[in-house]
Amino acid sequence: MKMTEIDPLDITKCLRKQTAKPECSQKKTVDVPKKPVLEIPKLPELPEPTEEDLPKLQDSYPDYFHFEKGKKSRYFDLVYHGKRFNSAIYGTCNTIWQCAHRRKYRCSAVLQVSKDYTNFEPRNEHTHGNLKTKGESELFTPQQALPIMFRISWKKNQERKAKRVAMSRVMKERLKIQRAKAKAEAEAERERIKAARRKKPIPKIPEFPGPQPAEDELPKLQDSYPDYLYFERGPNTLYYDLVYYGERYNSAIFGSRYTFWQCSHRRKFKCPATVHVTNDYTEFERRYEHSHGEQPSTRNVELYTPKQALPTLFRICWHRVKETSVKRLQLKELRKDKILTEEYRLGDIHDEIPVEEELSFVEEQADDSDDSFTWAD
């Protein structure tokens, strides 16, 4: 028997030819946005089958089938009861042979052959009669052709398996990359939100104009303060927030001897709770119960120990008390003036300035439920 120059087992050559084609066609469609092409991974070098890998060659085969091969053809054709089949599809258990005239005669006849070529199952009728073959073709008995057919089938199946494994590896790799990308994007988004939050700066404590307090006019800073007391400053805080036993207070009202701190959540929960503290921060009194449970603290706050915050608070208190007494004095004068004016006028004093408005010396600060803080005094 004459072996062919073209090795029918050389699958790699065929593969290379096939992969080369899409590259040429891609050049024609440059303006079309390229979809991510699932690259065919390079397959590992396939091993040769062992004796056990291949079906046993029978001692004899029925004479209704044999193989033929044209001089230029790479693969065998199967001739079964005078009908020619080619372009075999190699499954794991069967090989499906398709009618050689399927294109010309739109013939859907196929022949399913068991792996060892002992069982034949024709499917679908031929749309044509027996046809003569063009050109010369060499005849091969099953004994001659089958050892080669078995090897082709084995290799095709191995190749398919290897391809499936390699593709699943590529898919897994791609999925991993996609997940990592999604994770990175989510992380970037979180960072962006965080940065946007950080953008709202914590304002500086405003300077008080006019005369400044002398050292002995301010309370003495203690050597130590209880650890349930500290201060916070956030973007909505003008001066400081007081944290007392984990509860937040702000909008201090500065009196000459006491400072009254109001619950930070008084607006949201109509909370009446206050902390009354002596201006030297040595005596505390919590008044009224909170109308709400524990509230989460605002993010983006700076923490201050009493020793850090109190020197500033003492000065703020001094200025506020001074302002209040000046205001009171002015009001007294105003009232005196009004009474005097009234005495000289005859009735009709409607444009009176409301006394409460003038008396307001509360340091209104935005609480945590209020974002629209203004610097208005």
**Cβ 82 to Zn ion, closest distance in Å?**
11
Nearer to Zn ion, 109 or 310 (CB): 109
Choose, by CB under 5 A, the member of 78, 79, 107, 313 that binds Zn ion.
107
Q: Which range touches Zn ion (CB under 5 A), out of 259-267, 300-308, 311-319, 353-361?
A: 259-267
Nearer to Zn ion, 126 or 315 (CB): 126
**Cβ 128 to Zn ion, closest distance in Å?**
6
Contact 205, 313 (CB under 8 A): no
**Does 111 sit near Zn ion (CB under 5 A)?**
no
**Does 146 sit near Zn ion (CB under 5 A)?**
no
**Does 242 sit near Zn ion (CB under 5 A)?**
no
Contact 260, 274 (CB under 8 A): yes
**Cβ 278 to Zn ion, closest distance in Å?**
21
**Cβ 372 to Zn ion, closest distance in Å?**
21
- 17, 157, 77, 112 alpha-carbon torsion, rounded to 10°: -140
Footprint on residues 265-324 left by Zn ion (CB under 5 A): 265, 271, 273, 290
**Cβ 288 to Zn ion, closest distance in Å?**
8
Nearer to Zn ion, 211 or 296 (CB): 296
**Cβ 100 to Zn ion, closest distance in Å?**
7
**Does 252 sit near Zn ion (CB under 5 A)?**
no
**Does 99 sit near Zn ion (CB under 5 A)?**
yes
Footprint of Zn ion (CB under 5 A):
99, 101, 107, 109, 126, 263, 265, 271, 273, 290
